[in-house]
Structure 1
Amino acid sequence: MIQVGLMGGTFDPIHYGHLLAAESAREACGLDEVWFIPSSTPPLKPNAPYAEPQERLEMVYRAIDFQPYFRAMDIELERGGVSYTADTVRELKDLYPGRAFSIIVGADRINDLPQWHQIRELSELATFIALERPGVIMNDKDLPDFLRGKVRRCEMPQIGISSTLIRERRSQGRSIRFLTPDKVYQFIRRNGLYES
């Protein structure tokens, strides 16, 4: 069975923190591949993404083109609307038999799992990889029984980069070089993304 990690998010823009998280999960949990899935409209973020869907997908392609274990998937962008992980995993299971899926999330999101859309069914379709961060308490003992055995912990080096930081620096006219891969940096500059 091919082991695939799924990294969802707006990737608005993708940056080195995303890549480090994916590589940490791949190495620690023995994943064969990590698939990056830009979301159309994420259910837990009140504001729509700043960049257009195809721009965010293009930035993902540019960020991962050097890594044979990484792959970009446009499944949620093609579907449109609110992106629920359960719908995506169900569709991926149909499209790609012979693969076992793990959803890669930050440890801070693990305690929110019981509130996820169709979480019981999702837990039957996939496992979860929790990336631990200093100062974040992940208490999986408080999770419902059906989730408790479905979460694997994984350490990752700390890196203080976020998409919000990149957008803020860009809007202030400050440099974002070395916060994201150079091909993404060049794409952002060439297309005037995140300028005030």
Structure 2
Amino acid sequence: MDKQRIGILGGTFDPPHIGHLMMAQEAVEQCKLDKVWFMPSASPPHKKMNGVTAGNDRIEMVKRTIDDVEGFKLSLIEFEREGPSYTVDTMKELKEKHPDIEFFFIIGGDSVEALHTWDRIDQLVEIITFIGIKRPGHEFESPYLDKIIAIETPLIGISSTMLRERFRHNKNTKYYVTDEVREYVEVNRLYDKR
């Protein structure tokens, strides 16, 4: 029996936006994935957590983003253990819990080029395959190119940083995030003070 092919899309998701949805959907189609698990990071080692929205709010925004999307699921594995969330530890745990699944880790082009800085990257590339999202007309530079499936998606220049700024200054966020996320952010005033 063929193993199920699951993509993991990790991130802070502060907030999740349509660029995340597009990355996940293109990975499903181009790499023939069965599902994508959205995995919010509890304590990303490369980011200072002061200034990051509370975990329960980020989880709720991801739920609202993917709630009605077939094949997209929320994974809280990084919230279920203590300490910094290193991808290599998370993927080892997932592979132990789900030996019948082949995992792929979906990352943007900037992350591809920073892979050499990831904790225990040489172990990580031996246990999973990366799906790297290319910007049109841009080739990856990485010592791990043989461990990456490169796919192209339409260029969407949206970042969570830019969205937080737009929310803070009451600028348009329609079509950048789902209506459910926009309503949640506005009702809870998540980005008013930062």
The one of 169, 177, 183 aligned to 2:166: 169
- Equivalent AA in structure 2 for residue 86 of structure 1: V
The one of 173, 176, 182 aligned to 2:179: 182
* Ranges of 4+ aligned residues in structure 1 off by more than 3 Å: 46-49, 134-137
Name the structure 2 match of 1:115.
Answer: 117
Report the CA distance between 1:110 and its aligned residue. 1.5
Report the CA distance between 1:176 and its aligned residue. 1.7
Distance 1:107 1:173 in 2: 30
Report the CA distance between 1:45 and its aligned residue. 2.3
Secondary structure of residue in 2 paired with 1:41? coil
Name the structure 2 match of 1:128.
Answer: 130
Contact 2:136 2:153 in 1 (8 A): no
Distance 1:157 1:148 in 2: 21
- More moved, 76-85 vs 41-50: 41-50
Normalised to the residue count of structure 2, the TM-score between the two structures is: 0.92
Distance 1:151 1:163 in 2: 24
Name the structure 2 match of 1:194.
Answer: 191
- Number of aligned positions between the proteins: 191
Unaligned runs of 5+ in 2: none
Name the structure 1 match of 2:5.
Answer: 3
Deviations 1:139-189 (A, max 9, x none): 24xx1xxx3421111011111211111100111122322210111111111
- Give me the CA root mean square deviation: 1.5
- Equivalent AA in structure 2 for residue 125 of structure 1: I
Unaligned runs of 5+ in 1: none
Normalised to the residue count of structure 1, the TM-score between the two structures is: 0.91
Name the structure 2 match of 1:149.
Answer: 146
- Equivalent AA in structure 1 for residue 192 of structure 2: E
Residue identity over aligned pairs, in percent, reads: 41
